Amino acid sequence: MAGAAFHRVTGWILDVYMEGDKAALWVKSEEGETLQLTDGYEADLYVGLGSRGSRGGEELACLIQAHPHVTRVEWEVKRIPPSMEEREILHVYVDSIRNYRRVLSDLKRLDGIDSYYNIDLLHVQKYLFRRGLPPTCKAELSYTRDGGISSLTMLGDGGEVKPPPFKILIFDFYPIAAPRRRGGGGRISGISILEEGKGDPELLKGSEGEVVAAFQEHIQRSDPDLLVSEDVEEKVSHLLWRAREIGFNLQLGRTPGTLKPGRPISHLHRGRVLLDLKVFLRLGLAGIVERCRFAYIPPGLAAKWPAGRLIDSRQCYEALRRGMPIPRMRSFHYVKTVREAILSDRGGLILSPKIGLHENVAVLDFESMYPHIIVKHNISYETMSPSPSNQSVEGLIPGLTRETLIRRLYFKHLREEYPRGSLEYEWCDQRQRALKELLVCIYGYTGCFANRFSNISCYEEVNRIARENLVKAMNIAVEEGYEVIYALLAVSK
């Protein structure tokens, strides 16, 4: 852009969300400053045109193109999950996020469309997937005077033990009575605040107006990046409504806002991320960072989404990266006879323990057994279909599993290089535990009814190989002169 003044910043991506038709990115710089930047985004979806109706494909495409909120349509050849057969589908671009649902609703009324793709992902997911940008990563950004991003380069901080330098404020408040409705009851009598590394918590007391004003003053002074509390969204909502009730326009974000009925509270804490206390205590900041980078979603979502939804997000990212459209969130299962189902799904294996007192007992434990099986045997939705794809190409699931497994084992073994109780040990442990939770669930999620790519054959094949491995290990032990007194191979459903 001729004459444009460009600025540069190096820092960590604190938060990302959609604002209007742009992506808003909050960046925590190396100097400790926080700034908001914006990036372009174009809303889109895919549709498959079937044989229903009298209109031909081209005629239907022209009709879609004529929609007042469709900017353009393009024919593209894609491999369609789960069969991975190639099909020509229509790429539909929409003029704005605001009109996206209207366009989709109008398309659903057209006769001749038999399938929809990429329609149930959040727009912030689509943006991050296209950018290949995992929040909390370190990046170098160039931007114009008005805050528009002109270039973004991720920096390799994947091996860092220390999490990004986000400031954390833990808070809780004490209502006089339990809230009965928005703004009613539950008057706030005090707020406790604890800043990371500041020792004992501070208690703000006084009238409700004095307490709320003191809380806002503290936030503006300490300028935290993360607001942490138990049931944090409910707490913040109640705090905002109580402030409104007493005529105080409470500002929790880094940009001004006003609480209005019908609007989400998210616009009132822009620039600060809400995290649930229980999740924060269980995973730590380093563990939440790992969830962000695994699923390519902002920390507020990464902290509250269950493992299955995190895995779904990562699967969708990997699929889009490979040029696949994303099917709607509904389960898919290949049809099997009862006999085939009984023979293929034998579950786990348990050898009843020999009762009594045993001496000189050794334990053999497999490290990340199921993830290793997935990677070694290339077990994936497309490789386990009735017409499997090229086995020489790494499947969708083995690819993301291998990367996550390598990363988890890296931090698991690295932590032993630090003294127990040190910050470095805790950060490594938080990271590897967060990744372990995901690895444990990847295998079971392959056969889950809620998985949009679901293929029960993947789940059954992992179980089969795991049973064989356990039996081989027991046979080796017996051949070496040992007695097997107990064996367990658990499965997840």
Domain with residue 195: its CATH number is: 3.30.420.10
pLDDT value at 50 more than 80: no
Q: Assess whether 352 and 434 both reside in one domain.
A: yes
CATH classification at residue 389: 3.90.1600.10
Q: Assess whether 346 and 463 both reside in one domain.
A: yes
Q: Assess whether 355 and 483 both reside in one domain.
A: yes
What confidence tier does 469 reach under pLDDT thresholds 50, 70, 90? Answer: very high
Q: Assess whether 364 and 479 both reside in one domain.
A: yes
By the 10 Å C-beta count (0-12 exposed, 13-18 middle, 19+ buried), 471 is classed as middle
In-domain check, residue 209: yes
- Lowest mean pLDDT: which of 79-83, 144-148, 335-339, 471-475? 335-339
Contact status, residue 462 vs residue 89, Cβ threshold 8 Å: no
Contact status, residue 310 vs residue 304, Cβ threshold 8 Å: no
Contact status, residue 296 vs residue 134, Cβ threshold 8 Å: yes
Overall number of domains in the chain = 2
The sheet carrying 85-94 orders its strands as 70-80, 85-94, 44-49, 113-117
By the 10 Å C-beta count (0-12 exposed, 13-18 middle, 19+ buried), 292 is classed as buried
Threshold 0.95, pTM exceeds: no
Give the single-character DSSP code of 265.
G
Q: Assess whether 384 and 241 both reside in one domain.
A: no
In-domain check, residue 378: yes
Q: Assess whether 439 and 337 both reside in one domain.
A: yes
In-domain check, residue 263: yes
What confidence tier does 348 reach under pLDDT thresholds 50, 70, 90? Answer: confident
Q: Assess whether 172 and 258 both reside in one domain.
A: yes
Q: Assess whether 364 and 485 both reside in one domain.
A: yes
Stretch (H or E) spanning 310: helix 307-321
In-domain check, residue 360: yes
Contact status, residue 96 vs residue 40, Cβ threshold 8 Å: no
How does strand 22-29 pair with strand 7-19? antiparallel
Q: Assess whether 480 and 367 both reside in one domain.
A: yes
In-domain check, residue 185: yes
Q: Assess whether 365 and 216 both reside in one domain.
A: no
Q: How large is the average pLDDT for residues 112-138? A: 96
Q: Assess whether 261 and 369 both reside in one domain.
A: no
What confidence tier does 176 reach under pLDDT thresholds 50, 70, 90? Answer: low
In-domain check, residue 109: no
CA nearest to 455, candidates 467, 443, 468: 443
pLDDT of residue 123: 98
Give the end of a domain, one of 202, 237, 270.
270
pLDDT of residue 53: 38
pLDDT value at 52 more than 80: no
| Radius of gyration of the chain, Cα coordinates, nearest whole angstrom | 26
In-domain check, residue 363: yes
Give the single-character DSSP code of 227.
E
Q: How far apart are CA 374 and CA 244, in angstroms?
A: 54
Q: Assess whether 362 and 250 both reside in one domain.
A: no
3-state SS, residue 138 = strand
In-domain check, residue 237: yes
pLDDT of residue 15: 98
Which structural domain, as residue segments, surrounds residue 441? 330-489
What confidence tier does 388 reach under pLDDT thresholds 50, 70, 90? Answer: low
